[in-house]
Amino acid sequence: MVMANGRAVCLLIVLFCESVISFPTENKAPGCHSPLGLSVNVEPLVDIELSAPDGDATAARLHGDSAWRVENITDNTYLQVTLEKPMLIAGVQSQGDPNLDDWIISFKFDFSFDCETFTSNDRTYWGNLDHETTLTHFFHNMTVARCLRIRPVAFQGSAAALRLEVIGCDIDRCRKELSIYEKESLADGDQLLKFFSEKVLTSLQISYIGNGTVTADNKLMVFYSRTCANFEKLTGESVNPVIKDPGDNSHEQVIEIEFPGPVRAQCVQILPGGEFQPVNVKAIGCDTSSTEKSTTNANTCGKSRNTSGLRRKRVVGGAPVIHGDWPWVLSFHFLRQHNYTDRSGLRHLCGGSLIHPQWAISAAHCFSNDVYEGLDVTDNWRVALGENDQTTNDGTEQILEIEKIIKHERAQFKEFPLLYDIALIKLKQPAALSDYVNVICLDTKGEFPEGSRCTVAGWGQDTMETPGTKLPFKAILPIVNSTECREQYDTLPGLDVRIDDSVFCAASETGGRDACWGDSGGPFFCEKDDRWYQVGIVSIGYLCGNNAFPGIYTRISHYKDWIEDKMANN
């Protein structure tokens, strides 16, 4: 926050705490992100029974007119979903009470294949921020289960209130051969498999040709990654293969690796072990979403795979971002002490966007020593790409270091007016593009006029009093008339805010969304021909939640030549 003439101006914009109009999810999504059938007006994929030790469990249906409610949480408080048969569980959607300001803030899950012995997922998931918004969680580690228990940890209001949908698919749908986008031979016979987009993998079939005999002693190591950058071991130190019948080809030996549980992956690395080298690999599993949009090549700027595969008809106001919807939105983590991060308990301080695998764009004031000591030092920062939940590892993140911070030469924040609020950040290494990390196109021609309805997203706080959010939120904001915006700010005595061609204004039509700490530097982006373009950078605003004063954004097209010059010469 900057002080001028005794007034406080927020150098950070946009998060959202208003209502959402949600509609029933339609059960049309292929892959394994289908609603199983708890939503109102959705045909079930499988018979479902709801039960609970306390409260009316039958009321816990997503988009229903009531909710499961429990006033006191104990160790024996849970809502149980019992399925007709074991299904692959990919995630959940949750809402609070439709009639009262009651909802669950955080919860845990237990799973069971036989509904007798339950396995606890130790992770705590963040719940809703209000009673109306639909929150979607996709599990990093998926499971096959017949029973699922949701255990409230904390709630807001007079009761823990929940409406629920379970997302997944029949496990039999997840046993098809998947198309491998690219195979690469690495050193020592290692194999790297890349898929067009993220898949759910259940097994691998590996063919060998050799004079010896493949046995279980010829151990393999298998690694998988959702980012193709950071890999996890499949299980323990090695994978014990199951020898398969080679069929008519006596020279070929086939082994099958049945995964301990379904995993999400866009890349798989196989270390064969022993003297046998694989000649062919088949990946078995299923798609996650309804679309196959690659985000891993240079021609896909501004493309989002829409990871959910769930149809969302209409959202008005702020809503949680479904992981992967906006893969160019990134989080700048400040490693030193800062009042904002101390209060939020999170490393996130500013937003930004990826415009090239090795370049990000943000607001200059995020990196100005005049605003806060140490903001201009590269070693004080880390860039979190593919981020979702700020409090845990989702398996999609890439945490990169900064090589160089380039602020506009005329940017200054000691006195007003505040202009030239733009900065380029060069990363020490290129990001690996994936379903969760992609570059956004830049609106270099100024193609989005007044009235264009565009999107802002970030992890900033939703009011002046609350800390930043742990999950990213988005809102739809129209670009407003610059003259009217200028006239509004001119009514503030002693506050010199210049609305010229280098900036534009955007504001909510209905109120409730506005500037707040933590969203500075984030992108304002608009859609054209199924591609997203960054039109602006979150810059400044007047306090939080005052709809009379629109947010002010740095205009990308005004700095086209500056951006191209700095990237070409650095």
User: Facing residues of 242 across strands?
Assistant: 256
Same-domain status, 146 and 200: no
Q: Which residues of the chain have pLDDT under 50?
A: 1-10, 12-29, 236-238, 298, 307-317, 463-467, 514-515
**What is the 8-class DSSP label of residue 560?**
H
Active site residues: 365, 421, 520
pLDDT of residue 416: 76
H or E stretch at 563: helix 560-568
The pLDDT score that the predictor gives to residue 464 is: 45
The domain boundary, picked from 126, 151, 170, lies at 170
- Among 146, 170, 194, the domain-final residue is 170
Give the domain range for residue 234. 175-287
Residues 154-191 as b or e (16 or more Cβ within 10 Å = b): ebbbebbbbbbbbbbbbbebbeeebeeeeeeeeeeebb
> Could you tell me if residue 222 is inside a domain?
yes
Count how many Cα atoms sit within 13 Å of the Cα of residue 493 in the half-sphere of its side chain: 1
Give pLDDT tens digits for 511-520: 555 446 668 8
What's the domain count of the chain?
3
**Whether 436 contacts 392, CB under 8 Å:** no
pLDDT at 206: 83
183 Cα distance to chain centroid: 27
- What is the Cα gyration radius of the chain? 25
Indicate whether 116 and 237 sit together in one domain: no
The region, left, alpha or beta by phi > 0 then psi within -120 to 50, assigned to residue 189 is: left
Looking at the structure, do residues 166 and 181 belong to the same domain, yes or no? no
Per-residue pLDDT reduced to its tens digit, 294-329: 555 545 899 986 644 443 332 333 566 788 889 999
Domain membership flag for residue 324: yes
pTM to 2 decimals?
0.83
| Beta bridge partner(s), residue 155 | 104
Instruction: Mark whether 190 and 75 lie in a shared domain.
Output: no
Cα(32)–Cα(548) distance, rounded to whole angstroms?
A: 44
Nearest 5 degrees, angle CA 19-CA 22-CA 23? Answer: 160
Measured CA distances, 16 to 303, 477, 513, 547 (Å): 24, 11, 5, 12
Is 389 within a domain?
Answer: yes
Based on the number of CB atoms within 10 Å of its own CB, is 105 exposed (0-12), middle (13-18) or buried (19 or more)? middle
Specify whether 235 is located in the same domain as 199: yes
CA 470 centroid distance within chain: 11
Instruction: Name the one residue in this structure whose structure tokens are 């009531």.
Output: 66
Q: Which two tokens stand for residue 495?
A: 């506050």
Residues 438 and 323 in one domain: yes
The reply to whether 301 falls in a domain is no
Indicate if 405 and 503 belong to the same structural domain. yes
Residue 180, CA distances (Å) to 348, 436, 477 in order: 36, 19, 40
Domain check: are 154 and 80 in the same one? yes
Q: What is the CATH number of the domain that holds 51?
A: 2.60.120.260
Separation between Cα atoms, residue 542 and residue 548, nearest integer Å: 9
Q: Is residue 311 part of a domain?
A: no
Are 185 and 165 found together in one domain? no
CATH assignment at residue 496: 2.40.10.10
In b/e form, how buried is each residue of 378-399, taking b as 16+ CB within 10 angstroms?
eebbebbbbbbbbeeebbbbbb
Question: Does residue 337 lie in a domain region?
Answer: yes
The domain boundary residue, chosen from 149, 170, 191: 170
* Secondary structure in 3-state letters for 390-426: CCCCCCCCEEECEEEEEECCCCCCCCCCCCCCCEEEE
State both tokens at 412.
């200054």
Q: Are residues 220 and 340 in the same domain?
A: no
pLDDT at residue number 543: 67
DSSP SS3 for 179: coil
Residues 151 and 200 in one domain: no
Q: Is residue 343 part of a domain?
A: yes
Identify whether 417 is preceded by a cis peptide bond (ω within 30 of 0).
yes
* Same domain, yes or no: 351 and 457: yes
**Is residue 558 in some structural domain?**
yes
Q: How far, in Å, CA of 352 to CA of 163, rounded?
A: 34
